[in-house]
Amino acid sequence: MSDRAEKLLTIRHHVSRTPHIVLDTEKCAACLLKPCLYFCPAGCFSLVDNELKFQYEGCLECGTCRVMCANNALKWDYPQGGYGVSVRLG
**17 belongs to a structural domain:** yes
Q: What is the CATH classification number for the domain harbouring 11?
A: 3.30.70.20
> The whole model's pTM is what?
0.79
- Sign (positive/negative) of CA torsion 43, 49, 54, 57? negative
**89 belongs to a structural domain:** no
Please state which of the ranges 10-14, 61-65, 86-90 shows the lowest mean pLDDT. 86-90
pLDDT tens digits, one per residue of 58-87:
898 899 999 999 999 999 888 888 888 777
Burial 9-26 (b: 16+ CB within 10 A, else e): eeeebeeeeebbbebeee
Domain residues for the domain of 53 are 3-81
Exposed, middle or buried: residue 45 (CB in 10 Å: 0-12, 13-18, 19+)? buried
**14 belongs to a structural domain:** yes
Domain tally for the chain? 1
